[in-house]
Amino acid sequence: MENNIALSVNNLNKYFYDPETFQVLKNISFDVKKGEFLTLIGKSGSGKSTMLYVLSTMDTDYEGELFINRTKLTGKTQNELAAFRNAYIGFVFQFHYLLPEFSAIDNVMLPALKLGLKSKEEIKENAFQNLSLLGLKEQAYKSANKLSGGQQQRVAIARALINNPSIIMGDEPTGNLDSKNTRNVFEIFKELTKERGQTIIAVTHDEEFAQNSDRTIELADGELLRSE
């Protein structure tokens, strides 16, 4: 596998078995390059969110192979996958999932404290740098529930970055935002790929958001319709 590949999926098949057997992903293969901003699109029920959960290692009930950073993740235990996720994957969801009573900086620090590779002082400094990068320097010590929706989502992005992940995965990261904040998040993602070489994979319903990303993969009825 080439050095510039961040993620590779080979012959991915996924079934749901309740109430009857249904194939939700059908023989999907593609690579994602390091520093690429990739969007996954498709109608509701096309399989895009299901695929993101497989790519993120949250869902292990599939056929095929998944590699991230040239590490084969298929077949690893749940504990091994949880450790890998915390070290190498950052998550941004439609809802920010911040702890409301915690300050912005405390929310950002949590994944790094859990990983435990750096001192609390180093983690705090990195968290502050990430908040500054996202224009939230002045809001660092404000409770999450006192921030606007757009600010909360930027805190969630800062949190996703705290462990310097190989990949940020977003599940409708702008789905709960107005058009102005959607553009803000898009610009942040673009800057992260350009300035930091960050790899980003995001599921979205927003056509404009998808069209302006580096590459779009479209799913229809569980099949790869196009990749361009």
Buried b (16+ CB within 10 A) or exposed e, 72-94: ebbebeeeebeebbbebbbbbbb
Would the pLDDT of 53 be above 80? yes
pTM for this predicted structure: 0.88
pLDDT over 70 for what percent of the chain? 98
**For the stretch 125-153, what's the b/e string if a residue is b when 16 or more beta carbons lie within 10 angstroms of its beta carbon?**
ebbbebbebbebeebbeebbeebeebbbb
How far is CA 167 from its chain centroid?
7
**The pLDDT of residue 27:** 93
Which tens digits make up the pLDDT trace of 2-13?
Answer: 678 999 999 999
| Domain with residues 34-62+74-227, CATH architecture | 3-Layer(aba) Sandwich (3.40)
- pLDDT of 135 over the 60 cut: yes
pLDDT score recorded for residue 115: 81
